[in-house]
Chain A
């Protein structure tokens, strides 16, 4: 009764729904819209979604002899690469989609990407690539009498007369016939997938396995393959980035360290023979999953931050009586994302940095990144713990 009455009063007063209510009822698309607007706490929304999705993954490298046997012609050129099968899934929650991408880090930096173009794969498999087909089309002629009036005979007679009288000098202006044919031309046709399959079947097979199928709905079991260098030295780490829904600015980041040794053994040691929740894996390695999202775009009057924007920023960092601020979040970092096309962007970035420092952020927590775009954005990163919302 009290709940119904509160709801009715809220509707009458035209209030925004509370964050707690949106999350408890799993109104995630609307909660993300609230985060995008800056009205809701992105950390709370994304961590609740992460807890509800409970992403699980399993990675396993295909043994090199198995890979060689599976490829037509059993080429040995891929022995230094590991074909890794990635399976991930989640609970079915009311979210349009999410996208999972993986990267292998070596000493904190991404390992150099393996060239997976068909040409590079064919070089490794020792196969030749089909060539572009050039088709020469001959020109055609199709002369037709030029008739523009309703009296064709009279018109043709007049045109012939004019051309005879002017010895053909006026033919471009007063034509008798016109060519409606087409000139000769060369058409270049690229090889089709079937051409590749015939000429370079090993490279084409591998390329098809590496092309991910569309799979982005919560609850779906997704399977894809990635190609990484097999022999890597140094501490390896798996970075899983999960982009949530249409809200492209927000993401969940799981870093799973792999034990020292070959990649194949490392993956086997971490994942074994069962799907593992990413949150559990990250915490088991003594780390915490991270999340990132954009804060509302700061407003500037010229090159200086407006007092209102400065006040909003401090309130967001310091928090209030009912909502803890960002400063209380673990492993907090900020990135000033400066668009290349922003005029006076450096001064604005300095102003924003000064405002962050004035609101209690330390200099070590702020970094600057140049991005493609026309805006200066403020991205926040912090670690999160999964807490189930009160769903009463």
Chain B
């Protein structure tokens, strides 16, 4: 045991760096009083990022539509959305202010022949950051509901997590003028989306 300790001490002495003298000790100058001057708030991030390229793609969503009011005989039905959509970053800040243009077809099919074929066109405003997008999208809607001509608006919230492919949901309110009467509906869909080029 003692021999091992002595051997270790000898090895440590042999391996230790050769001591050299420190730099000459000059007197310390009187310092200037220093302070911490912190950044105020979060940096906007505009010049630290570059504007990203627009992306184009589509989404296929399925969900439920709930009809409000007496015009549509069914209370609820199946909702299908097929949408051609774009993501146009309009800012360099993170999260990026983004335009959400879209064109789509929407099917609402409930019991008692309450079927609607609608075409939508909208331009949403929202933000995107690393593939996560949130937007409010107002749309013009035209087509047929209950076999009658329909015209109105659909507006709502879209939340998605899409890099190249991904998922999300929409929650919309729809107001349609059908045969001189307003028909209201709430639509919730889950969708799969695909956009290109992929999120950087």
Interface residues of A, Cβ cutoff 8 Å to B: 11-12, 14, 16-17, 22, 24-31, 33-34, 37, 39-40, 52, 54, 56, 58, 60, 62, 66-67, 69-72, 83, 85, 87, 89-94, 193-194, 197-198, 201, 204-205, 208-209, 219, 221, 225, 271-275, 277, 391
Give the docked Cα–Cα distance between A70 and B26 (Å).
11
Say if the beta carbon of B180 comes within 8 Å of chain A: no
With both beta carbons as reference points, the residue of chain B lying nearest to A32 in the complex is identified as B47
B18-31 Cβ-contact flags toward A at 8 Å (1 or 0): 11110110110111
Give the docked Cα–Cα distance between A71 and B44 (Å).
54
Contacts of A67 in B (CB 8 A): 24
Say if the beta carbon of B87 comes within 8 Å of chain A: no
Contacts of B144 in A (CB 8 A): none
Contacts of A89 in B (CB 8 A): 31-32, 34
Q: Which of the 9-residue segments B35-43, B129-137, B158-166 touches chain A?
A: B35-43
CB proximity of B174 to chain A, nearest CB, Å: 26
Give the docked Cα–Cα distance between A193 and B45 (Å).
46
Whether A197 touches B47, Cβ cut-off 8 Å, given contacts A85-B26, A92-B35, is no
B26 x A205 contact (CB < 8 A): no
Extra inter-chain contacts (12) besides given A25-B43, A33-B48, A277-B32, CB under 8 Å: A14-B97, A16-B92, A30-B45, A40-B47, A58-B29, A62-B24, A69-B24, A89-B31, A94-B37, A205-B21, A219-B36, A273-B30
B21 x A70 contact (CB < 8 A): yes
A72 x B17 contact (CB < 8 A): no
With both beta carbons as reference points, the residue of chain B lying nearest to A198 in the complex is identified as B18
Say if the beta carbon of B111 comes within 8 Å of chain A: no
Contacts of A70 in B (CB 8 A): 21, 23-24
Give the docked Cα–Cα distance between A54 and B31 (Å).
13
CB proximity of B93 to chain A, nearest CB, Å: 7
B23 x A204 contact (CB < 8 A): no
CB proximity of B160 to chain A, nearest CB, Å: 20
Contacts of B10 in A (CB 8 A): none
Contacts of A30 in B (CB 8 A): 43-48
Contacts of B29 in A (CB 8 A): 58, 60, 87, 271-275
Give the docked Cα–Cα distance between A287 and B34 (Å).
25
Pull 14 A–B residue pairs with CB atoms less than 8 Å apart, ordered by A. Answer: A17-B46, A25-B43, A27-B39, A33-B47, A62-B26, A70-B24, A89-B31, A90-B34, A92-B34, A194-B18, A197-B17, A221-B31, A273-B30, A275-B29
Whether A219 touches B34, Cβ cut-off 8 Å, given contacts A14-B91, A25-B41, is yes
Say if the beta carbon of B179 comes within 8 Å of chain A: no
Give the docked Cα–Cα distance between A201 and B21 (Å).
9
CB proximity of A32 to chain B, nearest CB, Å: 8
Say if the beta carbon of B7 comes within 8 Å of chain A: no
Which residues in window 73-90 of B have CB below 8 A to A? Answer: 90
Contacts of A66 in B (CB 8 A): 24
Contacts of B34 in A (CB 8 A): 89-92, 219
A275 x B26 contact (CB < 8 A): no
CB proximity of A70 to chain B, nearest CB, Å: 4
Contacts of A197 in B (CB 8 A): 17-20
Give the docked Cα–Cα distance between A194 and B16 (Å).
9
Give the docked Cα–Cα distance between A25 and B46 (Å).
14
Contacts of B48 in A (CB 8 A): 29-30, 33
Contacts of B45 in A (CB 8 A): 30
Contacts of B92 in A (CB 8 A): 14, 16
B44 x A22 contact (CB < 8 A): yes
CB proximity of B198 to chain A, nearest CB, Å: 22
Whether A26 touches B26, Cβ cut-off 8 Å, given contacts A14-B97, A16-B47, A194-B18, is no
With both beta carbons as reference points, the residue of chain B lying nearest to A55 in the complex is identified as B32
A-B complex: 6 closest residue pairs judged by Cβ atoms? A14-B91, A197-B18, A274-B30, A94-B39, A33-B47, A25-B40
B35 x A91 contact (CB < 8 A): yes
Give the docked Cα–Cα distance between A33 and B45 (Å).
10
Which residues in window 143-186 of B have CB below 8 A to A? Answer: none
Give the docked Cα–Cα distance between A58 and B92 (Å).
43
With both beta carbons as reference points, the residue of chain B lying nearest to A16 in the complex is identified as B46
B18 x A11 contact (CB < 8 A): no
With both beta carbons as reference points, the residue of chain B lying nearest to A273 in the complex is identified as B29
Give the docked Cα–Cα distance between A219 and B93 (Å).
29
Contacts of B90 in A (CB 8 A): 14
Contacts of B30 in A (CB 8 A): 273-275
Contacts of B47 in A (CB 8 A): 16-17, 30-31, 33-34, 37, 39-40
CB proximity of A351 to chain B, nearest CB, Å: 29
Give the docked Cα–Cα distance between A52 and B40 (Å).
14
Contacts of A54 in B (CB 8 A): 32
Contacts of A26 in B (CB 8 A): 37-40
B20 x A25 contact (CB < 8 A): no
Whether A52 touches B18, Cβ cut-off 8 Å, given contacts A17-B44, A39-B47, A275-B32, is no
Contacts of A93 in B (CB 8 A): 37
Contact of A85 among B23, B32, B93 (CB under 8 A): B23
